[in-house]
Structure 1
Amino acid sequence: MDGQENEEHANRGEDVPATDRAPRPAPRRDGAGRTGRRALRRTGVILAVLAVALVGVVLGVLAGGRVSTDIGPFQADLSVAPAFGGGTKVDIPPLGALLLDSHDGPTHLTVELGALDQSRTEALLDDPASINRASQSAVDDVREGVLRLGLRTLASAVLVTLLLALLVFRDTRRAAWAGALALVVTAGSLGTAAATIRPEAIEEPRYEGLLVNAPAIVGDARRIANDYTRYAEQLQRIVGNVSQLYTTVSSLPVYEPAPGTTRVLHVSDMHLNPTGWQLIRTVVEQFGIDVVIDTGDITDWGSEPEASYVGSIGLLKKPYVYIRGNHDSGRTAAAVARQPNAIVLSNTTTTVAGLTIAGIGDPRFTPDKNTSPAGSGLTQQTADQLIGVGDQLATTVRSSPRPVNIALVHDPASAGPLSGTCPLVLAGHTHDRQVSKLPEVPGKGPTQLMVQGSTGGAGLRGLEGEKPTPLTMTVLYFDKDKLLQAYDDITVGGTGQAQVNLERHVVEDPQAGVPAPVTPTPTR
């Protein structure tokens, strides 16, 4: 029945059938709707406060979770960052890093050892017994630094969260809730790390970078930890001997050359040993060196972290002529070239202090340390490579507009083709100092080959044998005609030894390059 029929019923006074009545709207339940909306809004606010708190904690930790502290003679930076697996990383530039499974929780600790403090290091050298005190205080230094780091991180996380919450909500109550959540989250994370700390993790580190070889060199860390007293005593003797070493070198007798003599210091195969730089600086100052020549292997792996090692070149304030060794990469050579006083030769010549010097880098890049010394076990392909670079340099020497006084190669196996092209060839690589004459070429003058030992004592590898590899360098004296007239071989006992020896050689006939009998000087 439609609306018209309903109207007729009404006009006659009849009731409209119930089935034909228009439906009435359902009563509104305003109270229940408002309750649902309030609950949804409250949930959204809670989630927003939680999100702001978490973001604030992350930003606060990244911004303020860092402190600087002294650990023994080192300046160290301690920092904490959010992480899933916990743990600690100890950065030791340029050698690499130690990774320790030290704790659980969402925090990762990084300890970066920086530069040595000069005054504290000198104090250790002057008083070797202070090594014991330094090792004991180092534990307290780390504990104090970590405590300050935790408090600073906590304060930074809460402060950043409060500021962020005020910017987002513009409501002090919600900002306070966000700050409280940040306090709970940060304190809980740091507390979890402290509760799960594993001190024994220091005995089972994982290594990155150059420290990959540390277990083989240093030995079993557990054994060293169990016998620390004996280890500390040995360390004291080494430190004491190093200080004596510097004193001894500074008092070495110096060859008295004729007026107009040019003094050249030949070094090679530093292999990252920082002691080598101290020796070089001492000899440069005491002997009045005009030019330093480096025949390569200044690093071990040619990696980017090692590039900082060559920064000591600039401190010498003398021309530093360098060729690349088989342990030096292209980036190593580039790092040397960036030093203001360095000259990198790559089948090129240069004139320094009146000496014309030609040099070429090693054709190989073999940082795995498995290459054999020159003339021992070389494959035919490698021998051909080495002779090939010698031929290249010989061509460069012959075409030089100025007569070449010194030619530089890294491996003495490359020296053969240079016979008769110049009076003197300097090399390294073998870690064994030798002086010889190259086979003469008919119609050409004689050529002397001088192979340097290792100025760095073969680096860390020098500790592998029963006796440490000595540190060696040679001072060459050239007369006004740029002919070799004498040379002093300086030998310093390897790590842990303080014996220093200087052997003076006077060349009887500079034109022939024949040395006189060796005259050793007193040693200390």
Structure 2
Amino acid sequence: MNNPTRKKTSIYLKLFLITTFVGLLFVTFLSPSTYNLGPFMVELRLQLLDHGLTTVDISPVGEISARTHLPPVKLLIDLESMDLDQLSDIIATAPQEELVEEIESQVYSIIRSFVTKLLVLSVIGGFVGAIIGGFRTPKYLLTGVGFAVLVTGILMAMTFGTYDIMAFENPEFDGALQAFPWMMGVVEDSLRALDDVSAQLQALSENLFTFFQRIEELQGFDFIEGEYQILHISDIHNNPASYDLVDRMVASFGIDMIIDTGDITDYGSPIEAELASEVSRLPVPYVLIPGNHDSPQVIQRLREIDNVYVVEDQAILEILDFKIAGIADPASESTAMEVPSEEVLDDYAKRLAETVEESGEQPDIIGAHHPHIARQLELAPTILTGHTHLPEVEIVENDDPILVSNAGTTGAAGIRGIEAGGDIPYSLVVLHFNADKQPIAADLIKVRHLESGYRVERFVVEEYLR
């Protein structure tokens, strides 16, 4: 090869390398794009020189990945939000074939838009690369742009040409999902079961009401009608059937207020916050004391609902003349879901005691998600807690008796409980109060197997009945 030819080849090779490199940099760092996919808001972005993966980020739960294509390109999909109302409407009204066709059409539209954006970025990157490399004549500028577009186009053609969506049948998990490879199946299986579960729970709550209507006829059970009835629930963990059960209990037993001692969600994600917003349909005040599986996003979403009151540690809430003191679980300040150390729990118990002392008021009810906090504070006649998933009611015989209620798990440990089919009962406590806001009785209700009914235990505070 003679010198002029070698020199020309060297110039074009340098132009190719510079413009391709800069073009791909533009494509990588400026690729993030947000799209509406039906009820979902997703961000799509691209990383080069990576394995042929597609990664779906469900923050803060973790990531699901699959090897879907051949080129060294990683597609990242971030699920930013979901409109549950729109999703429900689509599922309820759209025929399946039309729904699939509509989703396919939207996906193809998103791919075309995304690829077009990447090609435009490669044009800009190729142009900038040529300028940086000192190639400023129209001929070299156009050639540099052509190189960048060609390489980007080939990568995209190979990526989407070899794309295999069925690779997600064998996904890889990361983050919190790494410990739960069953998640892909549990959602589908659990949601299939929810209609049956909800119907059975509603029937059981009606049977319970009938049971209590006839309770005075049963030997060994005193008929007690309180001035106020409060429903204590806890640890729903995303189980939608729980809201149907709670709704029926409210209607059947004349419940005046609901107090939830936390863990209404599993991971505290924004999507779960929308699921938890189902409490808006309950017709009575709903008091939430956040647990370690809740998060700032969940708390903020629930604050926006008219009938919801969030108890933290700033002040004593007064609802229906009840003075309620409580403190959010330390872990609810983030999405970490960690169980705090005893030292941290002791500190929170001290903070709550100081809040009560500084208020100068005697609370009627004290609540905390973790029993380690709640059991340290014998500052009210009624103490509510959760966390352990072990339903329990205890009467502490002091000079002034104290009723301690742990509602267990009103969600039977969540949708995972439905999938596992384990022996975790749905549980809740109906609290009866006299006119002085003192607890006179508590009915601990456990539904262990939907097909076999329920178990009720009554605890009476004799001192407050006099």
TM, length-normalised to structure 2: 0.68
Partners of 1:390 and 1:468 lie apart in 2 by 32
In structure 2, the CA distance between the partners of 1:170 and 1:251, relative to structure 1 (3 Å rule), is farther
- Of 311, 314, 319, 1:352 maps to 319
**1:83 correspondence with 2:48:** yes
Aligned to 2:120, the other structure's residue is in SS state helix
In structure 2, the CA distance between the partners of 1:111 and 1:161, relative to structure 1 (3 Å rule), is closer
- Of 270, 290, 295, 2:261 maps to 295
Partners of 2:111 and 2:274 lie apart in 1 by 35
Partners of 1:292 and 1:42 lie apart in 2 by 78
Deviation digits for residues 126-177 of structure 1 (CA, Å, limit 9, x no counterpart)? 99xx8xx58x976x77766664444333322333444666786887655553
Partners of 2:257 and 2:33 lie apart in 1 by 44
**What residue ranges of structure 1 are gaps of 5+ in the alignment?**
1-31, 372-380, 514-524
- Of 235, 239, 245, 1:269 maps to 235
Q: Which residue of 2 aligns with 1:483?
A: 438
**What residue ranges of structure 2 are gaps of 5+ in the alignment?**
214-223
- Of 199, 204, 211, 1:244 maps to 199
Aligned to 1:109, the other structure's residue is in SS state strand
Q: Which residue of 2 aligns with 1:434?
A: 392
CA drift at 1:118: 3.1
Partners of 2:408 and 2:19 lie apart in 1 by 63
Aligned to 1:407, the other structure's residue is in SS state strand
In structure 2, the CA distance between the partners of 1:299 and 1:310, relative to structure 1 (3 Å rule), is same
Q: Which residue of 1 aligns with 2:220?
A: none
Identity %: 24
Matched letter for residue 511 of structure 1: Y
CA drift at 1:84: 1.0
In structure 2, the CA distance between the partners of 1:334 and 1:389, relative to structure 1 (3 Å rule), is same
In structure 2, the CA distance between the partners of 1:334 and 1:235, relative to structure 1 (3 Å rule), is closer
Q: Which residue of 2 aligns with 1:51?
A: 18
In structure 2, the CA distance between the partners of 1:363 and 1:150, relative to structure 1 (3 Å rule), is closer
In structure 2, the CA distance between the partners of 1:333 and 1:265, relative to structure 1 (3 Å rule), is farther
Aligned to 1:432, the other structure's residue is in SS state coil
CA drift at 1:406: 1.3
Aligned to 1:156, the other structure's residue is in SS state helix
**1:402 correspondence with 2:355:** no
Is the CA contact 2:202–2:244 (under 8 Å) kept in the aligned structure 1?
no
CA drift at 1:457: 1.8
Aligned to 1:184, the other structure's residue is in SS state helix
- Of 383, 408, 413, 1:425 maps to 383
Partners of 2:368 and 2:115 lie apart in 1 by 58
Deviation digits for residues 244-263 of structure 1 (CA, Å, limit 9, x no counterpart)? 3687599786999x999555
CA drift at 1:240: 3.5
In structure 2, the CA distance between the partners of 1:237 and 1:126, relative to structure 1 (3 Å rule), is farther
Aligned to 1:193, the other structure's residue is in SS state helix
Partners of 1:307 and 1:123 lie apart in 2 by 20
CA drift at 1:402: 2.5
- Correspondences of 1:27-426 after superposition (within 5 Å): 44=11, 47-48=14-15, 51-52=18-19, 54-56=21-23, 58-59=25-26, 66=33, 68=35, 70=37, 75=40, 77=42, 79-85=44-50, 86-113=52-79, 114-115=81-82, 117-118=84-85, 120-121=87-88, 124=91, 147-162=108-123, 174=140, 176-194=142-160, 197=163, 201-215=167-181, 217=182, 237-242=192-197, 244=199, 262=228, 264-273=230-239, 275-276=241-242, 291-300=257-266, 306=269, 309-310=272-273, 316=279, 321-323=287-289, 325=291, 327-328=292-293, 332=295, 336=299, 339-340=303-304, 341-346=308-313, 349-360=316-327, 401-412=360-371, 421-426=379-384
Partners of 2:325 and 2:256 lie apart in 1 by 17
Q: Which residue of 2 aligns with 1:458?
A: 413
In structure 2, the CA distance between the partners of 1:65 and 1:388, relative to structure 1 (3 Å rule), is closer
Aligned to 1:55, the other structure's residue is in SS state helix
CA drift at 1:461: 5.2
In structure 2, the CA distance between the partners of 1:108 and 1:390, relative to structure 1 (3 Å rule), is closer
Deviation digits for residues 385-407 of structure 1 (CA, Å, limit 9, x no counterpart)? 98997788678767763332112
Aligned to 1:511, the other structure's residue is in SS state helix
Is the CA contact 2:123–2:149 (under 8 Å) kept in the aligned structure 1?
no
Deviation digits for residues 166-208 of structure 1 (CA, Å, limit 9, x no counterpart)? 7868876555534533442123112333465566743443222
In structure 2, the CA distance between the partners of 1:266 and 1:242, relative to structure 1 (3 Å rule), is same
Partners of 1:70 and 1:283 lie apart in 2 by 38
Aligned to 2:180, the other structure's residue is in SS state helix
Aligned to 2:464, the other structure's residue is in SS state coil
Matched letter for residue 46 of structure 2: A
Matched letter for residue 354 of structure 1: D
Aligned to 1:467, the other structure's residue is in SS state coil
**Total equivalences in the alignment:** 436
In structure 2, the CA distance between the partners of 1:482 and 1:275, relative to structure 1 (3 Å rule), is same
Deviation digits for residues 300-334 of structure 1 (CA, Å, limit 9, x no counterpart)? 56xxx636645666774676544454x358xx368
CA drift at 1:453: 1.7
Partners of 1:289 and 1:199 lie apart in 2 by 49
Partners of 2:355 and 2:43 lie apart in 1 by 53
Deviation digits for residues 220-278 of structure 1 (CA, Å, limit 9, x no counterpart)? x8xx8xxx9xx97x66741432563687599786999x999555332212334455466
CA drift at 1:293: 2.3
In structure 2, the CA distance between the partners of 1:284 and 1:410, relative to structure 1 (3 Å rule), is same
Aligned to 2:393, the other structure's residue is in SS state strand
Partners of 2:112 and 2:355 lie apart in 1 by 65
**1:471 correspondence with 2:426:** yes
Is the CA contact 2:122–2:149 (under 8 Å) kept in the aligned structure 1?
no
